[in-house]
Amino acid sequence: MNARTKVRVDRLVGRPLAWGLNHAARALGRTLRRNHSVATEDVRTIVIAKYVGMGSIVEATPLIRSLKTGFPQARIVFVTAVSHRQLVERLEHVDAIIAIDDRSLLRVVASSLAAVVAMIRVRVDLYFDLELYSSYGSIMALLSLTRNRIGFYRESAEHKVGIYTHLMYFNTRYPVRYIYLQLARAVRCAPVEPDRLGRLRVDDMDRRDLATLLAARGIGEQPYLVINPNASDLMLERRWPPERFAALIGQLTKELNLLVLLIGSPSERGYVASIVQLHGGESARLQNLAGVLSVGGLLALLERAHCLITNDTGPMHMAWALGTPTVCLFGPADPALYGWPGANVEIVYHRIYCSPCLHETGEPPCRGNNICMQRIEVDSVLAATRRVLAGVVPNPPSAFKPSFFVDEGGLPLGRVIRGSIEKVGS
pLDDT in tens, the chain (426 residues): 777 787 788 888 888 888 788 767 766 666 656 666 777 788 999 999 999 999 999 999 999 999 999 999 999 999 999 999 999 999 999 999 999 999 899 999 999 999 999 999 999 999 999 999 899 999 999 999 998 999 999 887 777 888 899 999 999 989 999 999 999 999 999 999 999 999 999 999 999 999 999 999 999 889 999 999 999 888 899 999 999 999 999 999 999 989 999 999 999 999 999 999 999 888 889 999 999 999 999 999 999 999 999 999 999 999 999 999 999 999 999 999 999 988 899 999 999 999 998 878 878 899 889 999 999 999 999 999 999 999 987 666 667 887 889 988 888 999 888 655 554 344
* Cβ–Cβ < 8 Å for 298, 262: no
Q: 309 φ, ψ to 5°?
A: -110, 125
pLDDT computed for residue 396 by the predictor: 66
What CATH number has the domain spanning 3-195+403-423?
3.40.50.2000
pLDDT computed for residue 114 by the predictor: 97
Residue ranges of the chain that CATH labels 3.40.50.2000: 3-195+403-423, 204-390
Long-range contacts of 202-208 (CB under 8 A, 24+ apart): 202/90, 202/296, 202/299, 202/300, 202/303, 202/322, 203/296, 205/296, 206/294, 206/296, 206/297, 206/299, 206/300, 207/300, 207/303
pLDDT computed for residue 20 by the predictor: 84
pLDDT computed for residue 40 by the predictor: 77
Chain centroid offset of residue 9 CA: 22
Length of the chain: 426
Separation of alpha carbons 93 and 246, rounded Å: 41
Report the topology of domain 204-390.
Rossmann fold (3.40.50)
pLDDT computed for residue 192 by the predictor: 93
Residue 416: strand pairing partners: 167
* Cβ–Cβ < 8 Å for 78, 91: yes
What is the helix (H) or strand (E) element at residue 148, kind and residue range? strand 148-153
Q: Are strands 126-129 and 148-153 parallel, antiparallel or unpaired?
A: parallel
